Amino acid sequence: MQIDLVALIVDEYDPAIAFFTDVLGFDLVEDLPSSTTDGRPKRWVVVRPPGAQTGILLARADGERQRAAVGDQAAGRVGFFLRVDDFEATFARMTAAGVTFVREPRAEPYGRVAVFLDVAGNRWDLLGPAENA
């Protein structure tokens, strides 16, 4: 058993794809035409970190309730966690790419951590190995 996908509500597909692939280095696994249950067009877009099993379904907001959730899927707290092997290099690359960090790197027992915002405004932890590891 495994979690295959989690959905992330975004304003538009293409800027979200660009953020996850160009900025974070994820793979674009699928980008297929689809439709809503009432026949309106949408896309099935899946991104995934290289080598990861769990992916993110980028879901364009449909309706006011979903639009209100864009950027606030975890009600203002960190809701997503990206673990990397080389924290310092990844932090530097993301900073150079214009990623907004809302908390500077710090050491925690579980590793190095800094909080950043994704393309929609959701909070993520960038996690690296613990300093004594």
Give mean pLDDT in consecutive 10-residue pieces for the chain, a chain of 133 residues: 96 98 97 85 95 96 96 96 96 97 95 97 97 66
pTM for this model (two decimals): 0.92
Residues 6+ positions from 76 with CB-CB distance below 8 Å:
123
Please state which of the four CATH numbers 3.10.180.10, 1.10.3720.10, 1.10.3370.10, 3.40.50.2300 is assigned to the domain occupying 72-133.
Answer: 3.10.180.10
Question: For the chain, give me the number of helices (H) and strands (E)?
Answer: 3, 8
Residue tagged 């896309």 (tokens):
43
Domain ranges of the chain: 1-70, 72-133
Looking at domain 1-70, its CATH class is alpha beta
- pLDDT for position 115: 98
- Cα–Cα distance, 21 to 27 (Å, whole number): 6
Question: Cα angle at 18 between 13 and 20, to 5 degrees?
Answer: 95
- pLDDT for position 133: 53
**Topology agreement, domain 1-70 and domain 72-133:** yes
DSSP class of 11: S
- pLDDT for position 34: 86
